[in-house]
Structure 1
């Protein structure tokens, strides 16, 4: 049986390797800015796949072996979690984008959201998620497929999901600060943007850890991650067919709706985590 000390060692090695890739990202930032080809090669190859690479290296170095990679669909009794993985980001971004318009009393602007248009976008996202989301395995094999296994004996389910969400958001921080480091915008604006992003990514990362725990598979997290990346584009396509005035100013109410939605979802999933934790304690 693996001891807590061994899990902590493997977790430490994994995180060290992952964040060394972040340092590599910093070192290569200048040539990446000067060439889109260099950016594509570095970002989409070693960096985006660094969690999977770190997982493989850690397993090899610690002689852990390569069993329980969580590369199984496990569809039986898990369809509801796949549906939640697909729908959660879509619901969030719909609330984030559409609520400011509705709350401000301008629902008539949303003429592009017809039943046919929404249905077509939904089918498009479902089809793409079944094919294109496989590229996100580079992240999910590490963050959700490996890290959660090593953290759970150390922090329990609740701690693993919350702490895992925080670490995932920190991993994105260098990318979020890249613009300021390259002289674009002020530090205060960048920090405000990063603060909002970290709250969002921590909340969503917590959900990804939780859905992986519920299904014992990385694929629901892969689907959810794809939807997190693509839902905004689909909604933007629908918005482009709407009658929103060019001078519409919804920025202030948009911020309120965004943070309110994040907080509601965060409280909801923390409640689910605590309920699951209490249930597990009663079954011991």
Structure 2
């Protein structure tokens, strides 16, 4: 069996297991809404399902458990850990601030004082050292396994695109749980789903680059934590500004929200392609 066929087989088994877990989450939507205990148990199983799927696939296919990228590799890579922490924070600050600034409402940004920004950054830094480890359940599967199997099959660009869509689809239960529970409309749920596709596809390129650059999933774990938490921190600072109750921004500014993530995607896809070309030339 060729290497591509082996990768395709392992990738297929991994994705089958991951999406069986996703289906379980959807089927359990009603009992999860009725019981906090059930919600917590199912949510934790679902959160760690990418890692579980990778471990099961490695066992079933007799691939073994080497090269799981479970090493910190601090030496020579510490700057990439800093980048993993700082870039999402800068990116989401730009995502929320750009539409406000461009539309001429800079007076709304009163919450972004030096002290407020520094305080929130330090809190996130402290939390990232401990809480981010929970995201190992995702990154061990997505970046540590799925991306490695996809790249020989679909290339770097294809892996970023297809991997981002797969990652977004896996989040589907989170996007439609409100609708299944009787909250919101189907169009709102689908809008959330497509928005997540775009964001995860773009941000996934950065996480993929981090993993390949450091040969470790831990920088991606930290960046993933900051992806989740930076948005809340920036929104909180924005909420402390001088925003009128009836405030609204022009619809066209919504496009600007995706611009920073799109730039990140382009930059890191280019870096991934450049690194791949160098490795081929070296061989």
1:93-150 deviations in whole A, cap 9, x for unaligned? 1011111221122222222222122111111111110111011111111111122232
| CA–CA separation in structure 2 for the residues paired with 1:35 and 1:198 | 29
Aligned length: 283
**1:208-223 correspondence to structure 2 within 5 Å:** 208-223=207-222
Contact 2:109–2:242, Cα closer than 8 Å, also in 1: yes
**2:34 matched residue in structure 1:** 34
Q: Structure 1's 185 and 100: CA in aligned 2 closer, same or farther, altered over 3 A?
A: same
CA distance in 1 between partners of 2:157 and 2:255 (Å) = 27
1:243 aligns to what SS in structure 2? coil
| Worse-superposed segment, 268-277 or 51-60 | 268-277
Secondary structure (helix, strand or coil) at the match of 1:204 reads helix
Partner residue of 1:193?
Answer: 192
The Cα shift of 1:155 comes to 3.0
TM-score, structure 2 normalization? 0.92
User: What is the distance in 2 between the residues matched to 1:190 and 1:16?
Assistant: 24
Deviation of residue 213 (structure 1)? 1.1
CA contact (8 A) 1:161 1:207 kept: no
Q: For structure 1, which segment, 32-41 or 255-264, has the greater mean C-alpha deviation from structure 2 after superposition?
A: 255-264
Question: Is 2:128 the partner of 1:119?
Answer: no
- 1:14 equivalent to 2:11? Answer no
- Residues 32-59 of structure 1 deviation map (CA, whole Å, 9 limit, x = unaligned): 1112221111112x11010111111111
CA contact (8 A) 2:111 2:237 kept: yes
Give the deviation of 1:182 after TM superposition. Answer: 3.7
For structure 1, list consecutive stretches of 5 or more residues without a partner in the other structure: none
RMSD of aligned alpha carbons = 2.1
Partners of 2:160 and 2:261 lie apart in 1 by 16
- Residue of structure 2 equivalent to 1:177: 176
Contact between 2:48 and 2:137, CA under 8 Å: does it hold in 1? yes
Instruction: Rate the CA distance shift 1:273–1:162 in 2: closer, same or farther, 3 A.
Output: farther
| Distance in structure 1 (CA, Å) of the matches to 2:250 and 2:77 | 39
| 1:250 is the counterpart of 2:264 | no
